[in-house]
Amino acid sequence: MKVMVTGSSGFIGSHVVEAFEAAGHEVVRLDLKDGPDVRDEAVLDRALPGVDLVVHQAAKVGLGVDVSDLPDYAAVNVYGTAVLLAAMARHGIERLVLASSMVVYGEGAYDCPEHGRVRPGPRSAEDLRRGLFEPTCPECRATVGHAVIGEDAPLDPRNAYATTKLAQEHLAANWARETAGTAVALRYHNVYGPRMPRDTPYAGVAAIFRSALEAGRAPRVFEDGRQLRDFVHVRDVARANLAAAAATQVPGGLTAYNIASGTPHTVGEMAAALAVEHGGPAPIVTGEYRLGDVRHIVAAPDRARAELGFRAEVTFADGMKEFATAPLGMS
């Protein structure tokens, strides 16, 4: 199969390229670092003929700095995806695997003792300043317990990156419906591993902690460190892309899958594990916060297991041991 991978030089994209090539596929690479860009119609028209599948990894990632980032997020993630999909339609390419993200959910799922499954709204700046990090029931303000979130949960993006990832899903669904193509959205949870970009405002928390340790600084853990996430190794994510490429999908629609380990850990646990494997220094819990962050998000990976045959293989302990000393990518 001939596969075009956008974002092919990036952290996740480079591992996806290796996985497809190792499986015997011909890979066409497209990455901004190499000059071409998904917003360049002429480049796409040269690259797409003969391609059987597009694996769209290219995106501006991370929470960003402030609202000044909005034009770039919209230009790269939304407009870039629209240009790519239009080019795919021109060339009759009918299969797409899209790198989406768990950020489209917003806050995770919670259960209230009185009101059952609830979706708390964004946490207030005042509560965060007071150190009240846990969400409460939107009906009665009672303490709620976190629950796993499935792909059919309501979507509620809460920052620029999340909004543009959801826009990508909507555009892919539009394209699939109008062309009778098949679209798969892989909602990555917290991806980490070798070649992760160094510490920048757009880096993931694992890269921020790892960069601090490499510089001899203690990782600074925001809030109280008890935020739950699902940390999934980048090689498992690459395998999920291969599984999505091999699976049969119904034409004319988009199917979303959580790509996660299925074993959540707190942000504090992750920082501590990295520090131990790296040889210190130990993390510092700061109580700082970012308004765009959510508290807990725990994935239900059952659909990917049942329909794609995908199950994460790298354990948290093994992954953190490797990542503590693995080479980082460029920021």
Instruction: Summarize the confidence of residues 107-134 as an average pLDDT.
Output: 93
* Counts of helices then strands in the chain (DSSP H, E): 11, 16
Tell me the average pLDDT of the chain.
94
Q: Report phi then psi at 97, rounded to 5.
A: -115, 120
CA distance linking residue 150 with residue 300, whole number of Å: 5
Instruction: Summarize the confidence of residues 120-148 as an average pLDDT.
Output: 93
pLDDT at residue 161, rounded to an integer:
92
3-state class (DSSP) for residue 115: coil
Which residue in 179, 305, 325 sits closest to 254, CA to CA?
179
Instruction: Summarize the confidence of residues 211-222 as an average pLDDT.
Output: 95
pLDDT beyond 80 at 98: yes
- The DSSP line for 117-174 is EE---PPPHHHHHTT--S-B-TTT--B-EEEEE-TTSPP---SHHHHHHHHHHHHHHH
Neighbours of 157 (CB within 10 A): 18
pLDDT at residue 68, rounded to an integer:
87
Instruction: Summarize the confidence of residues 78-86 as an average pLDDT.
Output: 97
Considering only 24-38, 66-80, 159-173, which range has the smallest mean pLDDT? 24-38
CA distance linking residue 95 with residue 88, whole number of Å: 9
pLDDT at residue 35, rounded to an integer:
66
Instruction: Summarize the confidence of residues 197-224 as an average pLDDT.
Output: 89
Q: Band of the pLDDT at 158, cuts 50, 70, 90?
A: confident
Q: Which two tokens stand for residue 173?
A: 């669904």
pLDDT beyond 80 at 330: no
**What's the whole-model pTM score?**
0.95
pLDDT tens, 225-242?
A: 999 999 999 999 999 999
pLDDT at residue 308, rounded to an integer:
97
pLDDT beyond 80 at 203: no
